Amino acid sequence: MPKFVFYAAPPRAATTFHIENHPPAAPPRGLAQTQAVSNSTLSVPARSEGAQQKKTKSFFSRLKAVFSGRGTHSPRSAAAPTVRHALALTPQGAAVGRDNAFYGQITFSNIMPKHLPEPSEVTPPSSRTVSEALVDMVALIEASTEIGEITKCEMGGTLRSHFLAGGVSQNSLKNLYTVWAAKYARSTGELLPSIQALVDSADKKLALDKQNDQYYCQLFERELACDLLARPNSGMLQISQNIKDYMLADMACYDEAGQNYISLLVREHMAQDQAEYLTSIPEAAQFIAQPSPFGLINMLNTDSVHAIPLVLATALRYLLCAPQCAKIVNDAHQFYTDVILTSRSLHVASDKDQELGMAGCNNLLNFLFHEIEEQCPGFSMEQATLMTAAYFSFVGGQALNDTFAVFAHHSKQNFKPFSYKALSYNSDVAPAVDHAYQKLVKVSAEIQQLNVNRSQESVA
């Protein structure tokens, strides 16, 4: 087997990766044999007829859907009429799941009322989800000139704590208003009546789950995910490097024809994406235009702000294309069919949270991480879980809860709903939590001002 030397791209030009002769565990793979093995990894034969074939197809269709741009993780897109009237929830082609990724930056140019669904006759236009009412209260308090900064901090801090804790109910908002009415009645002017109107507009029937996961919560998670990936902590950077090292070590086990063929397969999957974050990376664009083993390594070593999403996206593709990764894919498939789908079929109400996001891609990365964990002492599954959750929120609008559910299910832990508040206590993640929360307050203020302007225009 020949020896190849790949040179990484700047800024790591001093790094050299040697593809050495390794004692093969199986006969050397040429192009034809590599193709045959690779095809077998992409279509695992069913062990029995009927339902098992359907399960196999389901698993791989979920994985392949990511690479064909169809997307596998549809976000819960419902929003209260208040938000629907103010903002168009416009799909943005900035992610793998290009048909369901939410636009992260809210600007007035996105407002397209003619494309919005009409409010339900049962639900008055003034109704809000509980979380929407809470965030609107924060924006109202911050904009108020009737109270001092100390009072603002007290009231705003209480609401922030409630939002991050999750599970806010209409009754809890009413109880909070009662306390404030007694404490601040003489110093708040018209602020308290405005807050009461927001509390009264909260409709508990609009809540979808424990997080009241409507538009604001989706926006919060997406902003949180984008910030985490754009400013990764040292733990995430180390995991990203571990993933790259794993792929490079596996690549070293193939001859030149095998390496070229794997590069072509990875390129085919990537070329099907319409993801803006991929096309914005020069190394990725170059690899798609001219696929090669050198180009693959050059792409993995990018210093782009989207480097971590790129590494995870490449890893998913590489696992499906590389013959020696067949065991990881097959084990993930076995777990998916035997455990995840079975759990869904036996689903009962008390297990709702655990059923949220048993998706093939989360599951496949989870198996990869456990493989790397065996080879790399000190590998942090906690950081890997958070990084994966942020990635799938960034590329497909998937709830953070979904990835945590999959990873907890695999480790046989009792799943607990994801908590923003717990993240806010983590010094590495706290800045991203604060960034996402402030984004919500800003958007809420814009929506409220827009509604005021529209009301004035209608009167005029």
Place of tokens 């984004």: 439
Q: Which domain holds residue 278?
A: 1-14+54-81+231-418
Q: Which residues of the chain have pLDDT under 50?
A: 1-49, 51-52, 54-81, 84-85, 88-124, 207-213, 347-358
Assigned domain for 40 exists? no
Q: How much is the pLDDT for 456? A: 78
Which residues lie closer than 8 Å to 429 by C-beta, 6 or more apart? Answer: 228, 233, 386, 423
Phi and psi at 202, nearest 5°, equal -70, 125
Assigned domain for 107 exists? no
Distance, in Å, from the CA atom of 135 to the CA atom of 163, rounded to the nearest integer, reads 8
Assigned domain for 434 exists? no
pLDDT digits (tens, 9 = 90+) for 294-313: 999 999 999 999 999 999 99
Integer-rounded Cα radius of gyration of the chain:
25
Assigned domain for 106 exists? no
Distance, in Å, from the CA atom of 225 to the CA atom of 394, rounded to the nearest integer, reads 6
Q: What is the dihedral of CA 84, 437, 209, 425, to 10 degrees?
A: 180
Assigned domain for 432 exists? no
3-state secondary structure the chain: CCCEEEECCCCCCCCEEEECCCCCCCCCCCHHHHHHHHHHHHCCCCCCCCHHHHHHHHHHHHHHHHHCCCCCCCCCCCCCHHHHHHCCCCECCCCCCCCCCECCCCCHHHCCHHHCCCCCCCCCCCCECHHHHHHHHHHHHHHCCCCCHHHHHHHHHHHHHHHHHCCCCHHHHHHHHHHHHHHHCCCCCCHHHHHHHHHHHECHHHCCCCCCCCHHHHHHHHHHHHHHHHCCCHHHHHHHHHHHHHHHHHHCCCCHHHHHHHHHHHHHHHHCCCCHHHHCCHHHHHHHHCCCHHHHHHHHCCCCCCHHHHHHHHHHHHHHHCHHHHHHHHHHHHHHHHHHHHHHHCCCHHHHHHHCCCCHHHHHHHHHHHHHHHHCCCCCHHHHHHHHHHHHHHHHCCCHHHHHHHHHHHCCCCCCCCCHHHHHCCCCCHHHHHHHHHHHHHHHHHHHHHHHHHHHHHHC
pLDDT digits (tens, 9 = 90+) for 392-416: 888 877 778 778 877 877 666 555 6
Assigned domain for 338 exists? yes
Assigned domain for 68 exists? yes
Assigned domain for 339 exists? yes
Q: How much is the pLDDT for 214? A: 57
Place of tokens 């040292």: 234
Residue of 387, 389, 390 lying closest to 226 (CA atoms): 390
Tally of domains within the chain: 1
